[in-house]
Structure 1
C-alpha cells in the first residue's frame, strides 16, 4: 500500500511538529511520500531539510519532497492538508491591532480580525481545492487553516471532500488526561459548538458512553483549569462546564481589550519566535523538533492530524492518541456539516463536534441538548459566519459591514462602520473588489 500526503503551506514553522508526528506514528499512518508545498522557496528549503533529518533520525522510510509547484504537489495525493496564512505574520499583526482602535478585540480568528483573515483566505483555499479536485477528485482535504469553521464551510458548499481540524479539543483532552493520570486514548470529550466557540459538556472515561468525570475534574482541579483558561474559578463553577480558551474574548471582552492595548501583539511575539525557529531549523545538526516550537502554538496538532488522516484513508491502525480512538471509524472532534446535529442551526452550518470518521467521511455523534446559554451564542456566531462567507465569496463593502454588525463582539453600527473602513484599508492588496 502506498500513501501520499501533501502539505500546502509546508514552509510553516508548524511543519516540524507535523513531521515529528508522522515519524512517531508511522504505524498508524504509513506514509510513503510526503510533499511540502510552499511559494517561499528559501523558507521551504530550510523546513524540508529539517523534516528529512527528523524522518532519518526516527527511521521513517517515507520520502519527503519539497516544491513550489502546487499542481505537482497535489497530483496523486490521497490527502491534502492545508495550513496556510495569506499575508503572513504581517497581516496577522494588522488583524490584531486595528480592531482595538474601535474598542473591539484584536485577534486573528475571532471578531473583526477573524473576518479579515476569512476574506483573504477563502478565495485562495477554494482555488487550491479546485486544483486538487482536477487532479484527484477522491482526495480528502484536511483544513487546519483558520478561521477553520468558515473555511471548511466554503469547501463543503463548493462540493469538496473536506473535514476541518483544530487542536483545541486535543489540547484540552491531553490536559484532562494528565490530570486524571489516564492514557489519552481513554479520555473522550463531549465537545460541542463552533470552531473557537466550544464547551466541554462532559469528559468521559473509556469511550463516548463512559462515565462523565468532568464534575470530579472541576472539584479537584478547578483552580488549575480556570488558571489555564484565564477565567475566574467561580465562572467555571457556575457553568459546570469548561469553555474553550477562546470564550474569554466573549466572557471578558473589555478586560481583554485593555490587556491587548497594553502589550505587544501576539503576532509580534510569533514573528520573533519564527525568526529564531528558522535559524534553528537551518542547523544541519538539528534532527528533532526544538523545544521552542512548543511555544509557537498548535500543541498536539500532529497527533490530531495523523489520527484524522488515518481514519479518512481507511487505515486500520490503532490509536493515534487524539480525542478519539485513531484509525478507521474512530471518534474524533472535527469540523463538519451540521445536518441536524445541533437542531437549532441550519443543516449547512459547520459545527465542531465529536464524529465517527471513516473513508466515507465524518458523521457526527448524536448531540445532547445544548443549554440556551450556549446555544444562543452559537446561533449568533453561526449567523455571522454565514454573512462572513458571503462577503468572502462575493465581496462588497456592505457585505463586510453586515458581517461585522452581526458579530457579537461588534454589534454596534458605529463600531461596524469604523471596523469596515479599517479592514478594507489594511487589506486592499488581497481584496481585488476594493
Structure 2
C-alpha cells in the first residue's frame, strides 16, 4: 500500500513514519512518498526517517519528490499536512492580529482566518488533482485549520477526505486516566467543530463517569483542562471543553499573555525549526537524536501562554507524546483492512447536528470501516455551545466564499463576523495588514 505525504518535509513527518514502523500486519503501508516544495527540507526529513528505519527490518520504502502529480499517482492514501506560507507566515499571522489587539493563533480567530484564506485555494487545487490522478485514494487531512480545509476539499472529494486532530484524543485520554479508566475501553461523547468541541460524557461499561469527575474539585484540578479552565467553570458548563476553547472563554487574558510574550508561538517554532534544518545536515550529527530533542522542546512549550495566564504550570509528561499519527494509522487500518473502530474525526455532518446543514464538516465520534467514516448520532448541544458552533461555522463559510470568489469584501465579512474580532474597522485593517505581508492573498480584490 502506498502512502503519499504532502508537506513531506514537515517537522512532524517522523511521527507518522514511526507509527508505520509499528504496523506489521497484512496490507500495511510498504511505500511512503514524501512531497514538498522545499527539496532541502525533504532531504533533512528523509535522513531522520532513514535513522528510524535502520532499527527496523522491512521498513516502508521512502522516496521524495517536489513534483505533486508524480507524488499523487498510484497513491492509496494521501496524508495532507501542508503549511502555506511556512512558519514565517504563521508568525506574520500572529503579529498582524496582535497589533490590532485580537488573537493571532493559527486556527482560532483572526490568525485562523488569515491562514484559511491563503490555504483553501491550495487545498482545493490538491483535491482536484487527487480526484483526477488518484480517484480511489483516501485523503487524510491534518492541514490547519483542519475543519475548514477538510470542508473545502470535501466539495471535490466528498466523503473520501477525512480530517484528523489529536486534541480530542488527548482530551479523552486525560479524562479517562484521571478517572482510572482505560481510554481504549471508554466511549467519549464529544461533539463540535475542530478546536471547538466539548466532552459531554465518558462512558465505561455503559456508565457515564463524567459526573464523578465534575463533582470532585481535586480530580478536576489534576489534569490540563482542569488547570486551564478552573473547576468552577467546568462545573458550570457541565462538560470539559477542548483546550482551544480557552481562547474564547478567557480571550482577554490570552491576548494579553501573547502580547507580553517575548516571542509568539509561530516565531518560536520558526526559529527552532530553522536551527533544526540547518543542523541536521552537519556531518556526525544523528538526525534522529536531533529531531527527538527538538520535538521534546516543541511539545513542552505547547500553549505555554495560555497555561501561564491560567497559572496552570508545566505540561504533564504524559501529554508530550502527540497522538495524531496514531489516529492516522488507526484510520488507515480501519479503511484498508475493514478493521472497524471508533475515532473522533472531522467529517460531513449529514444529520448529526440538526443546527448545521448536511455538508458542514464537524468533529464527532465516527464508526470507521472499509467504506469510510460514518458520524455517530449525538445529543443536541446546549444553547451556548450551539450558538458558538453556528457562529464559527458561518465564518468558515465566508472564508470559503472569499477564497472561491476572490472578494476582499467577503474576506472582511469573515473577519468581522468572528466572535473574537470586535469591530468591522478592525476587520478591514486586518485584511489590509495580511494582504501586505502575504503574497498568497493577492487574489483578494
Fold shared per TM-score above 0.5: yes
Conservation of the 8 A alpha-carbon contact between 2:32 and 2:61:
yes
Equivalence for 1:303:
326
Q: Aligned in 2, Cα 1:151/1:429: closer, same or farther, shift over 3 Å?
A: closer
**Residue equivalent to 1:6:** 4
* Aligned counterparts, 1:125-140, within 5 A: 125-140=123-138
> 2: distance between equivalents of 1:75 and 1:229?
47
Which secondary structure does the structure 2 equivalent of 1:290 belong to?
helix
Q: Distance in 2 between matches of 1:433 and 1:102?
A: 21
Output the TM-score relative to the length of structure 1.
Answer: 0.91
Structure-1 residue corresponding to 2:306: none
1:66, 1:27 → 2: CA distance? 25
Higher mean displacement: 278-287 or 346-355: 278-287
The aligned residue for residue 23 of structure 2 is 25
1:292 matched to which residue of 2? 294
- Partners in 2 of 1:105 and 1:98 — Cα distance? 9
For these two proteins, the number of residue pairs brought into alignment is 417
Q: CA RMSD in A?
A: 2.0
Q: Structure 2 residue aligned with 1:387, among 378, 394, 398? A: 398
- Deviation of the 1:286 alpha carbon: 4.5
Q: Secondary structure at the match of 1:216?
A: helix
User: 1:400 Cα deviation (Å)?
Assistant: 0.6
Residue 230 of structure 1 aligns to a residue whose secondary structure is helix
Number of the residue aligned with 2:207: 211
Q: Residue 217 and residue 147 in structure 1: after superposition, are their counterparts in 2 closer, same or farther (change >3 A)?
A: same
Q: Which moved more, 1:282-291 or 1:186-195?
A: 282-291
Aligned to 2:314: none
Which aligned pairs between 1:34-433 and structure 2 lie closer than 5 A?
Answer: 34-160=32-158, 161-205=160-204, 210-218=206-214, 219=216, 220-225=218-223, 230-263=228-261, 264-278=263-277, 281-282=280-281, 285-287=286-288, 290-297=292-299, 299-313=322-336, 315-316=337-338, 328-433=339-444
| Alpha carbons 2:109, 2:420 under 8 Å: kept | yes
Does the aligned pair in 2 maintain the 1:332–1:355 contact within 8 Å?
yes
8 Å Cα contact 2:412/2:428 also seen in 1: yes
Q: CA deviation at 1:280?
A: 6.2
- Corresponding residue SS for 2:378: coil
Does the CA contact (< 8 Å) of 2:127 and 2:157 recur in 1?
Answer: no
Unaligned 5+ runs, structure 2: 300-320
Q: Is the 8 A contact 1:8 1:83 kept in 2?
A: yes
TM-score (norm 2): 0.88
Alignment deviations for residues 368-393 of structure 1 (CA, whole Å, 9 cap, x no partner): 12111211111111111111111122
What are the ranges of 5 or more consecutive residues in structure 1 without an aligned counterpart? 317-327
Q: Deviations over 1:18-37 (max 9, x none)?
A: 11111123438711111111
2:315 maps to none
